[in-house]
Amino acid sequence: MSGPHKEITIYDIAEALSLSPATVSRGLKDHPAIRKDTRKRILDKAREMGYQQNMFASNLRRARTNTIGVIVPRLNSYFMSVVIAGMEKVANAAGYNLIISQSAESMKKEETNVRTLYNSRVDGLLVSVAYDSDSLSHFNLFLDKSIPLIFFDRVLDHPQCTSIVIDNYKAAYEVTTHLIRQGSTRIVHVTAQSKGAVYADRLRGYRQALRDNDLAFDESLVLAGNLSEQAGAEAARAILAMSPLPDGVFSANDSCAVSCLRALKQAGISIPGQIAVAGFNNDPVSKVVEPNLTTVNYPGEEMGELAASTLIRRLDRLEGASLNTIVLRHELVVRDSTLRKKP
């Protein structure tokens, strides 16, 4: 049996499928002369065997490319841009370049990104997973070849991988407790329709804070969407239709919180008098909206720097996969959107 690091060639695929190497070569290049079903068989087998299309000269096959792949859910997120800036700073200083791709919150696109970066022969991979990503199987291309893989922010657990996170449960607990201390007893939680731990942990923190303050959890006060600006406006509409009216909102990100706050204000709701609103991430928009938004400061640049340096240390064999989870500090930033005047 061949070792796990043997380079798979078109000859191996040809032998496995009882086809000629020329047919396999054409099939991999999507040549029209090869029947569609045969092309599919060739591509499926190539994927299964871990074939890497060689984009470099064969004499570079064993060498480093000095590139690191990065997959993020969205590039148009302030938080992610700060994380990437942190990664770039560390990677460039160590002589690496980043190849950045986005999954657009789709596990299917994430799978394509993984294959593309694998075929580009990146030396390692830094990933924050899509909302609907709940399986590690598409990362096996990397894991099976012991190519280092680090998850950050939105993570999946695997013994071979380090995850870099904040304590989302504790942060959400602190936000909810703050709202309760400011007099809110009927608090809406706006969250994501996500299969990952980040938003589940924030929901758990919210629920535990209610429980610890003898407030009943009400499923109808949890609004799940995609946390976009549009989702914030939709949440506001749903809140305005509730009876009795909620007196607090905790949104799992800032852009959604700000959009919700604006829509509530436009409907004549006093913030924080009638409804106190808090977000998460400390995006610049939180300081622009009136009143300024209470939020959680999330050390994005530090997360990016740490993800890149952990990966590079792994590549330089300075450390193995000893640390499974690294938890960064967060901090509750209290502003006027939740501060009610004391009588």
The closest alpha carbon to 87, from 323, 307, 298, belongs to: 307
In a domain, 110, yes or no: yes
Q: For residue range 54-73, list pLDDT tens digits in order.
A: 544 433 444 688 999 999 99
CB atoms within 10 A of CB 2: 8
- Can you name the residues that pair with 124 across neighbouring β-strands? 68
- Looking at the fold, whether 157 and 174 belong to one and the same domain comes out as no
User: Residue 319 — very low, low, confident or very high, per pLDDT cuts 50/70/90?
Assistant: low
Mean pLDDT across 64-90: 94
In a domain, 267, yes or no: yes
Most confident option among 127-136, 204-213, 315-324: 204-213
In a domain, 337, yes or no: no
Find the length of the chain: 343
- Looking at the fold, whether 281 and 188 belong to one and the same domain comes out as yes
Mean pLDDT across 192-202: 88
- Looking at the fold, whether 278 and 182 belong to one and the same domain comes out as yes
Q: What is the percent of the chain where pLDDT is above 90?
A: 73
- Looking at the fold, whether 82 and 34 belong to one and the same domain comes out as no
| pTM, two decimal places | 0.80
pLDDT (0 to 100) of residue 208: 98
The span from the CA of 327 to the CA of 302, in Å, is: 11
In a domain, 61, yes or no: no
Helix (H) and strand (E) counts in the chain: 12, 12
Gyration radius of the chain over CA positions: 24
User: Residue 320 — very low, low, confident or very high, per pLDDT cuts 50/70/90?
Assistant: low
In a domain, 5, yes or no: no
Q: How far apart are the first and last CA of the chain?
A: 77
In a domain, 3, yes or no: no
In a domain, 47, yes or no: yes
- Looking at the fold, whether 180 and 288 belong to one and the same domain comes out as yes
Domain count, the chain: 3
- Looking at the fold, whether 127 and 176 belong to one and the same domain comes out as no
Q: For residue range 146-173, list pLDDT tens digits in order.
A: 899 999 999 988 888 999 999 999 999 9
The span from the CA of 328 to the CA of 306, in Å, is: 10
| CATH (domain of 262) | 3.40.50.2300
- Looking at the fold, whether 172 and 138 belong to one and the same domain comes out as no
Output the six-digit token pair for 233.
Answer: 């406006």
Q: For residue range 278-311, list pLDDT tens digits in order.
A: 999 999 999 999 999 999 998 999 999 999 999 9
Q: What is the domain extent for residue 34?
A: 10-53
3-state secondary structure of 68: strand
Beta strand 124-127 with 149-152: parallel, antiparallel or unpaired? parallel
Q: Check pLDDT > 60 for residue 2.
A: no
Mean pLDDT across 34-58: 79
User: Residue 134 — very low, low, confident or very high, per pLDDT cuts 50/70/90?
Assistant: confident
In a domain, 60, yes or no: no
pLDDT (0 to 100) of residue 31: 81
